[in-house]
Structure formats: C-alpha cells, structure tokens
A and B are shown apart, each in its own frame.
Chain A
C-alpha cells in the first residue's frame, strides 16, 4: 500500500513563527516540520532509519493520547477503540513549549476476545491535533473520528452492558481481570470494559511525548454500586509505562450511566522510586460539548 504524501510545508512558517535556534536535543530529533510516511514502508527513507523511527514514535504517541481522550469523551464502554495504524502526520517541536503533532490514524474495535462481529465496520479513521506541553500532563487533544457505530446502536449496547452489570452477583469478590494467564470470563467482560473506560481518562492525562501507558490488569474492586441511574465503581488497576517499564497501580473511582458524561477521580502511585512520588489528579468530564461526529 503506497503512502499518500501531502506537499511539504514551507519551513519556518509554522504557527509559532520563525524557528528559534534549536538546542542540541531538538536537533537530534527533528529539524523542521517533517512529513511522515506510513508505517509499513521504509523504501522511501533508505538512509534514515533513525529519523523515520523517531518520527513514527512521536506520531504514535499522539495517536494514542488522542484515542484515550476520544474513548473517555465518548463515555461508551461498548464502543472502545484501539489504535490500528498511523497513516500520516507531522510534528513541530518548540523546545521551550513542547511538541505539536497532527496525525491521521485508523482504529479498530477494542475486543480482547478478538472475534469480529458480523456486519460491523472494522476500521474507523481519526484525525487529531495533539499538543504535548513539555513533559506536563494533560496533552491538549482535538480529535475527529468517522462514525464507527450508529449512535442508536451504541446506546443500545451501552444499555445492555448496564443491565448486565446490574445483574452481576458479587463483583467485590473479584481477584483479577484478566487472570494471570490472560483469561477474561465472559460474564465479567462488562466490568473490564467499564474499567478500561475509566482508565482511558487516566492514561490520556498521563501520556506525554515520551511516556505511554497500557492497561494491564484490574486487581481489585472496592465498591460496586448499581443504582437506578448510575453505576458507582471504585477499583484499582495496574498500568504499564513502556519507557520506564514501571507498573503503576491506580485507584480509580468512576460514576457512569449510559448516555451521560463519565465522571472520574483517580490516584496513581509510583512505588519503585525512592521519593514519595504519588500523583493525585482529579478530573471530571464537563457537560457534553460538541463531541466530534459520532
């Protein structure tokens, strides 16, 4: 599959004005707004595997941050998406402020049991602008995605999940999902999906241009209350941060009801560092604004 290459941008004319003299670090990474080709090829950049690799990583970081944010804002445990492929993008580095990345990527449905459903759109496409403020949390994300599932169908599936969750016998006895051998009991899938949704918020906030997070396991459920109009879920997950290889326990408290914005509070702890490093962040979804095309 041949990558599509947009015309190269005019150097020095980015929105941040003329390029400042870049310190050594920035020079090692990217020199000017660079156009990235699709992941799967290398024939276009035979002599620069390093540049292409770095470029690719930055675009992937941005795509991931955008997708975490998207999943969180959608507030829909039955419609979670994961990154399929980065297709194209470009990045601007301002050493004083941060990294700005435009990226186009495809997604697929998050379904760990990986059985394709009949007649369902397998791939969806998103484009995003992500701004990583120099190693500060909460990358600014502006993301638009093509419609994956019809709004009505999505609402129906969410409501179905909600009903399943209300019928769960005693989630407080859960030890871990998945278990140590990667297995998720089908009856517990709804809990896992909801946990993933809450974790998306956390992972969005914590993603920087260098650190990326994956959800490993749900390790305990402290509270599980299903009232008539909400599910109140207080739980602990383990996140894996790739560049440090650390496992980070996060306690997450969310309140959810199909169709309503998700409310999340969390506290993550880094155990392995000598300093008492613990991040306390509180975030809650604002009233649903113009959510990009569903």
Chain B
C-alpha cells in the first residue's frame, strides 16, 4: 500500500480525482481532502490498485508524488518500537527513571508504587482535566482514618517543564522505598502525610508529547479567541489578574477568565481546602535553578520571609552538596519576576506557611529540553532540598 500526494490545481482536476476516488473497484481512501485548489490531496492506494491509479493520473495530466512507499513497513516499525518500550517497562516491572515517559506510563507507575507499598501508598483521583483525563495523586500515609498534618508536592503544572514530572515520579518511588530505611523520611511520615501530584496539567503534558513540545498552559478553550489554554500558575486566587499576568488568551501567562477557572487548579484547591490540614506546599518547575518563597504578587515582604529565607538557604545548600548545583534563593517577585495568581502565594495566604517553588535545572543551556541523562542527578539533589524543608516542617508543626 502506498500514499499518493496529488496536486489539484483547479475544479476540473478535482472532478477528475473524484471520479477516480469514487470508483468502487479501486478501493481508494482519501486521507486529506483539499479545502482550496492549491492544497494537495493525500490518497491511500492499496497495492492492487497501484498500476491502474498511476495510469489514470498520468493520462489525465494529474501531478502526483508517492509520499509513503510502503505503509505497512512504516506501521510495523512504529509498532515494534512502541512495543519494545512498553515491554521493557512492564515485563521486568522496571520503569526507567532516567527517561521521559508518556502520561499513561507515569500513571501506570504510580499504580505500581501503590501496589508495591500497599501499607504506605495509594493512588487517589482528585479530579479530572479539561479534556477529561484523570488527575491522580499518590498519598503516602502511615496511619489511616486520621487527617494528619500534610505536605503537598506539586509538579508538571507547566507541561513543557518535563524535568518536573520526571523528578516527581522519581521522588514518589524514593519516598516509598526509603520509608523505614532512612530515619529522616521515616520520622516525617510518622507524623505527617505526603501528597504528590506528578502531573498537575495532564492535557498540556500530552500535548507536549504529541503536538508541541513547548506548550505551557492548559488546553481549555477560550470562547471568542483562537488561542487555547490559560497559565495554570496565574489562575490561583492570590491577587488574581494582578501583576505579571495577562488578560490576553494568546499570552503564555494568560490568567484565565476568573480564579480557579481551570479545572486542574480547582481540583487541587478543593482537595486542599476540604482536607484543611496542610502545612507545606512545594511546587516544582523548570528552569533557572531557583528556590523561592512568597510573594510573587507583591514586592512586600511576607510575614514569615525571614524564616522561609533561612530554610530555603539550608535546602539549597543541601541540594548543592550532591553535585555542586547552585540555586539562588529569594522571594518570587524579585528573584525571578512579579507573578500574581501563583500556587504558592495562594497556599501561603491560606495558612500553609511553608510554601516554596523550585525552578529545577538548568540555567539555560538546554532549558526545557533537559537531556534525560540529567533526570536522576536532578532528582537526587532535589530530594535533599525537599527533605531539608520537610524535616523542618515536621519539627515545627503549628
């Protein structure tokens, strides 16, 4: 089977082509039909019809080229590759933490972690995305039935920041494996629960894998605008529509029509508010190597700025101790830029004192396109930073 790309230049040629396509015995299949004259038509031609079709096109003076010479081979190849990847991942149950994965694979691994550590971890659905994909968190808890003080780890809210989702799923496995092995995490889990959301923007993530690697926002539709999506980290109810956000749907920092308009954001807000006992909220982003605390929506100092600053510096130091990766520390608005409607500002203003944003590796050499061989080094160093913060929270419960 081959795919022919046929140039139709006028109405006459279109009717000749329709004649060909409509003849039943050739069994042709139009893949892409023309909307205007100057666009080509893609037609799937089964191998048995190759000769007659070629003769017809030539005799009618229709220009064409063969764009896919062997469709079956192409499909077989793709199948093989995908199967190989999935096989590797499922057969040995060895999820390759040093690689980037599909949404499906991440969700599957979350499920695996929950079944590998049934007394500690469970996968919980907290809502769904605009395109109706599930939003899953992993809940780590050593005592059920009690609403313990809790930590929220947020990742992947900006879909193109792939190191965020990748670090999150590594961290999930780390928390589970190190419980009852590492005194620090064990002590934390003895008093607190940890909720980890590795993909806070599932629609965006899928879009970066299938259509546009650099997509940032959600995929919600904006009535009256050709532009899609809102910036989920400008959509929280913290000085919503203030500085550092845009009211233009085409902007990368469009805040959305109103606070919590993005269902992905609302799902998290509702969950945290209903729970009512969160003490810490950490949001993972990339890139720039920064560790920041509120506020983004104002240059005014947060009441706890000094304590948060000190803690952040300790965390950055712990992080740097692994591979020497240097992070800058400070409040969001002056460390990176003013930004209203952000997750950690909302968390902080809603009583969650320990609110931090990590901008992970690197500082611009690869930026969003961080090579997979940096996933594990990034996750390992970030882990020390996270632990420093979580330990402090554990010993300073309020």
List the interface of chain A (C-beta within 8 A of B).
28, 39-40, 42, 49-50, 52-54, 56-57, 82-83, 110, 112, 114, 178-183, 214, 216-217, 238, 240, 242-247, 271-274
Contacts and interface: CB of A to CB of B under 8 A. Distances in A.
B366 A181 contact: no
A254 B224 CA distance: 40
B372 interface: yes
A49 to B, nearest CB: 5
Contact of B329 (A42, A57, A244, A271): A42
B252 A245 contact: yes
Nearest to A43: B313
Given A182-B370, A272-B252, A49 B305 contact: yes
B368 interface: yes
Contacts of A57: 334-335
Given A246-B252, A273-B251, A274-B248, A182 B372 contact: yes
Contacts, number: 91
A181 B251 CA distance: 25
A157 B299 CA distance: 48
B120 to A, nearest CB: 32
B365 A245 contact: no
A294 B252 CA distance: 41
Nearest to A57: B334
B328 interface: yes
Given A50-B301, A181-B372, A272-B227, A216 B214 contact: yes
B337 interface: yes
B334 A247 contact: no
Given A112-B365, A181-B372, A216-B214, A49 B252 contact: no
Contact of A53 (B231, B331, B370, B374): B331
B199 to A, nearest CB: 17
B328 A39 contact: yes
A214 B364 contact: yes
B334 A182 contact: no
B206 to A, nearest CB: 14
Given A178-B366, A180-B213, A273-B251, A53 B371 contact: no
A271 B370 CA distance: 24
Nearest to A85: B326
A39 to B, nearest CB: 7
Contact of A245 (B100, B253, B370): B253
Interface residues of B, number: 38
B251 A217 contact: no
Nearest to B338: A243
Contacts of A82: 364-365
A112 B334 contact: no
Contacts of A242: 288, 336-337
9 contacts: A40-B326, A49-B301, A50-B299, A53-B331, A112-B365, A180-B213, A182-B374, A217-B369, A247-B214
A110 B365 contact: yes
B309 A274 contact: no
A103 B343 CA distance: 34
Given A181-B371, A181-B372, A244 B365 contact: no
Given A182-B372, A214-B364, A272-B250, A54 B216 contact: no
Interface in B154-185: none
Contacts of B334: 49-50, 53-54, 57
Contacts of B374: 182
Closest 4 CB pairs of A and B: A53-B334, A182-B371, A245-B252, A182-B369
Nearest to A39: B328
B296 interface: no
B330 interface: yes
A273 B368 CA distance: 22
Contacts of B253: 244-245
Interface in B203-226: 213-214, 216
A50 B252 contact: no
B218 to A, nearest CB: 14
Given A49-B330, A53-B334, 11 more contacts: A28-B299, A52-B330, A57-B334, A110-B365, A112-B365, A179-B369, A180-B213, A214-B367, A216-B367, A217-B213, A245-B216
B97 to A, nearest CB: 15
Given A39-B328, A42-B329, A49 B309 contact: yes
A238 B213 CA distance: 12
A178 B369 contact: yes
A39 B289 CA distance: 13
Nearest to A210: B337
B305 A238 contact: no
A273 B369 contact: no
B331 A49 contact: yes
Contacts of A49: 301, 305, 309, 330-331, 334
Given A238-B214, A245-B252, A182 B330 contact: no
Given A42-B313, A50-B299, A274 B250 contact: yes
Contacts of B336: 242
A185 B1 CA distance: 33
Interface string B362-384: 01111111111010000000000
